[in-house]
Structure 1
Amino acid sequence: AFHRAQPSSPLYRKMQEELVRVNAWGKTDTTDYYRNRLLVNMERARWQYALDKGQKYVIANVAAFMLQAVNEETDSILEMRICVGSVKNKTPLLSSRIYYMELNPYWNVPQSIIRKEIIPTYRRDTTYFTRNRMKVYDKNGLQVNPHQVNWAKYAGKGVPYTVKQDNKTGNSLGRIIFRFPNPHSVYLHDTPSRWAFTLKKRAVSHGCVRLQKALDFAFFLLKEPDELLEDRIRIAMDIKPVSEEGKKLSNSATYSELKHYSLEKYTPLFIDYQTVYLSADNNLRYCEDIYKYDSSLLEAMNDLNLKP
């Protein structure tokens, strides 16, 4: 039964071939390292994916800080760097469906961030709210002056205020966000913090996934290429339109800027964790086990005596 459960995916087959090669090295610590990494990821491959992928899908590999948007119909892969949750604020692993995108979102700051980060920072720097274009509202939705709030009272408990960051330039969510049903309040989004994509270890967020190529990702999600719609997305993101029709729109005084767009067909999304994966150029890559998930899985496999 165990052997019948072996998948036939290109990744699994490549890992099988690699395992044969690694086993031929003889018994060393290096052999053990690569062998264990392969065994763990071959096991993961056996229980993916419950949701049908279809011909067009997205895999965000948290361990590799990489995302692949795959279109099997056109035999193409859009690959990009991503930033994921820190070790303290891990990005949840899940399967879902991307239904819509929102342009120039406002950021409703989570209570935990207000309590743990904004209050201590504001107490050191009272220009914080102004600099970050953030507004404070009471429980009735009325705007209040942050300088008139005794923030010290709320450092360790519930804050009876909400904080909202203005949209557009400098917003933490960038210029576009992609939402999908999930119980963790996470999403994929653009970011103004481009520097983070130059880091080797990109586990820097509070759990959401930041995209290196948000505009390209938006175009990938469209059912088919649509010049005018693509230009409407560009215009909303302050990027110059390229089509003649798009240029006319951007010069029109009556043009209503695109705020959100529901996809004609949802796109399956898998936020996954693979410390061995196939890159877009079809090569096997290894990456670090940032969340330390491999060791517990390897231990469980050894306890059950699971061998390839």
Structure 2
Amino acid sequence: MLPATKDGTRIAFITPNIHTTMSYPKHKPFILLLIPVLLLFMMQGCKRPPHSDIGKLLNDKSKNNIYKQLTDEGYTAAVKQILQSKKVALTNPAVIKSFYASEDYEPIFIRDHFVNGDLDTAVAILSRSSVHGLNPKLFHGDEMAALLTKLRDPKAIKTTDEAYQNIARLELMMANALINYANDMQFGVVNPHRIYQRYYTNTLRPDSTSMKKVFAAQDLKAYLDSIQPHSPQYMALQKALTTGYTAPGMTQEETKRILLVNMERLRWKNKPAEPRYVQVNIPAFQLDVMDQGHSTLNMKVCVGEGRNKDFTKSLVRYDDTDMVDHPVRRETPQLTSLINEAQVNPIWNIPVSIASREIIVEADKDPYYLSNKNINVYRDGKLVDDPEDIDWGDPKAAEEYSFKQQPGEQNSLGKIKFLFPNKSSVYLHDTPAKNAFNYNKRDVSHGCVRLEKPLDLARALFGDGEKYNLIEKYMGEDNAKTVDIALPKKVPVYITYVTCWADDAGALQFRPDVYGLDIVLYGNLQKRMLI
């Protein structure tokens, strides 16, 4: 229903989809004025809020009267010109440009943080980035400090153009430095997915949403303090770095480099969010069941054979050509997944790579090797009755046959394996080769993780009860059948690579770089590190 005047005349309005002739009494001409008034009101509502008076703000602080002559249009033109000419090098130009365009090029940092000294505090924090192993020159703290001093000096800036240039440069440099610093602190300098070929761990990286949070900070010091890593592990390594700690048997420089790469790993957002998970540290040859940040079960493990077995390469003899990752076939991958079941008395489906390089070679030497190892041979999915009659010296044999090792004492997977989805077909498992757990260096497997105490892990995962009792029973039986037992609740598994950490007593532990991954990471960190 259309609105009506006192004499009953109804007024129609024009909308995008309806065309109606407006009727009104000739003695009511004031109604014509309603439309332009309403339109003017609507247009005013759509306008951006006026700019803050940066000129007055700077003049009040510095008493430099040149700032009184500044205009919004003059500053906007200057900042646009700098962005277009790239006079200020921006690491994330798209993010910065889109933000300032959405804010009508308002100088956010100078407006909100100049008068109260917040910018000076931020510059001081950026200039101390070496405490995190980062090069302060990358954040241009000295240049920004000089610009701040110049803006405060009542006589330093003599023209409006000079004022516009200084304000715009400081604003953009501060935005760029704070975003870079926030990215480094919260997500790490290097993206591990880009430098490691066998890295399958979910790792968050910065995006435009996370980057733009720096603009919303009301207190820059509080914001910068909040984003710095505060875990006990990080703080322990940082303390060692800043005090010049030297590890026994190492030089100070080698110690520093090991601290730097492991601090970087701690900045990566790749840690399990759950309070309870299984962690395997490859260089430590160690598994821990972690609960609320503490190990509730610890055991030795054997991991895949690495490329740096004799440690001929190290961070002492660093060569920047080593920044490219060249994994060997047997290396255990870094990954995260969820353990979903245990297979008791497992069958080992022998991979083609192992069959061709090892199984067939041994079968060619000894016709009874396969039967002694309880390995069944299949062709086109059918069991071969007399594998002793096959010519295993034939190079095509690896392509024509497949192999499965049956449950038993000879089975390479032992009595139990723990399964979790992953691209590399690796798992945690028992082993009959117990002697390897007496070695200090235990990179001896084909890529899977061999467990020193598999039954203890079963109890930690399943808890005491019916399922654990079945596992214990089936593992103790001879000639038992393969049984799959699902976990009531999936447990995260985190296979990682850490060569330095603080133990429960606070002492730093160092382990050799068995896969050379420290070297790869250090090579990629060099441009951002304090070398």
Q: Tell me the TM-score normalised to structure 2 length.
A: 0.50
Match of 2:392 in 1: 151
1:298 and 2:518 correspond = no
Residues 236-261 of structure 1: per-residue CA shift (max 9 Å, x gap) = 1118xxxxxxxxxxxxxxxx988222
Between stretches 185-194 and 227-236, larger displacement belongs to: 227-236
- CA-CA distance at 1:284 after TM superposition: 2.7
Q: How does 1:104-183 map to 2 (within 5 A)?
A: 104-154=345-395, 158-183=398-423
Residues 86-105 of structure 1: per-residue CA shift (max 9 Å, x gap) = 02410011111111111110
Match of 1:238 in 2: 476
Contact 2:368 2:388 in 1 (8 A): no
Match of 1:219 in 2: 459
Residues 46-88 of structure 1: per-residue CA shift (max 9 Å, x gap) = 11416x4311111101111111111229x55211111000024
Could you tell me how far apart the structure 1 residues matched to 2:372 and 2:501 are? 41
Residues 269-295 of structure 1: per-residue CA shift (max 9 Å, x gap) = 111000113446664310000011111
Contact 2:418 2:429 in 1 (8 A): yes
Could you tell me how far apart the structure 2 residues matched to 1:33 and 1:64 are? 19
1:78 and 2:325 correspond = no
Matched residue type, 2:453: K
Contact 1:83 1:202 in 2 (8 A): yes
Could you tell me how far apart the structure 1 residues matched to 2:367 and 2:503 are? 46
Match of 2:281 in 1: 61
Could you tell me how far apart the structure 1 residues matched to 2:417 and 2:443 are? 19
The ranges of structure 1 where at least 4 consecutive aligned residues each deviate by more than 3 angstroms after the TM superposition are 278-283
* Equivalent of residue 18 in structure 1, options 240, 246, 250: 240
- CA-CA distance at 1:158 after TM superposition: 4.4
Match of 1:253 in 2: none
Match of 1:261 in 2: 485
Between 1 and 2, higher relative CO (CA 8 Å, sep ≥ 6) is seen in 1
Residues 13-40 of structure 1: per-residue CA shift (max 9 Å, x gap) = 111122233x166xx9610111110100
Matched residue type, 1:15: L
Contact 2:236 2:506 in 1 (8 A): no
Partner-residue secondary structure (3-state), 2:404: strand
Contact 1:235 1:257 in 2 (8 A): no
Could you tell me how far apart the structure 2 residues matched to 1:282 and 1:102 are? 38
Matched residue type, 2:405: Q
Matched residue type, 1:39: L
Match of 1:287 in 2: 511
Q: Tell me the TM-score normalised to structure 1 length.
A: 0.84
Match of 1:196 in 2: 436
- CA-CA distance at 1:119 after TM superposition: 1.5
Partner-residue secondary structure (3-state), 2:264: helix
- Specify whether residues 96 and 281 from structure 1 end up closer, same or farther in structure 2 by C-alpha distance, changes over 3 A only: farther
Could you tell me how far apart the structure 2 residues matched to 1:4 and 1:147 are? 61
Match of 1:271 in 2: 495
- CA-CA distance at 1:267 after TM superposition: 0.9
Partner-residue secondary structure (3-state), 1:261: strand
Match of 1:42 in 2: 263
Contact 2:279 2:495 in 1 (8 A): yes
1:8 and 2:235 correspond = no
Partner-residue secondary structure (3-state), 2:425: coil
- Specify whether residues 257 and 44 from structure 1 end up closer, same or farther in structure 2 by C-alpha distance, changes over 3 A only: same
Partner-residue secondary structure (3-state), 2:242: helix
Match of 1:252 in 2: none
**Percent of residue pairs identical:** 36
Partner-residue secondary structure (3-state), 1:154: coil
Matched residue type, 2:423: P
Residues 165-202 of structure 1: per-residue CA shift (max 9 Å, x gap) = 11022210011100101011111101111101111110
Match of 2:147 in 1: none
Which is richer in strand?
Answer: 1
Could you tell me how far apart the structure 1 residues matched to 2:481 and 2:374 are? 21
How many residue pairs get matched?
283
Contact 1:189 1:211 in 2 (8 A): yes
Could you tell me how far apart the structure 1 residues matched to 2:278 and 2:435 are? 24
Could you tell me how far apart the structure 2 residues matched to 1:258 and 1:232 are? 12
Could you tell me how far apart the structure 2 residues matched to 1:93 and 1:173 are? 21
Any gaps of 5 or more consecutive residues in structure 2? 1-180, 187-227, 307-327
Could you tell me how far apart the structure 2 residues matched to 1:294 and 1:4 are? 19
Matched residue type, 1:9: S
**Could you say which structure has the larger radius of gyration?**
2
Could you tell me how far apart the structure 1 residues matched to 2:382 and 2:507 are? 53
Matched residue type, 1:67: L
- Specify whether residues 24 and 161 from structure 1 end up closer, same or farther in structure 2 by C-alpha distance, changes over 3 A only: closer
Could you tell me how far apart the structure 1 residues matched to 2:407 and 2:466 are? 24
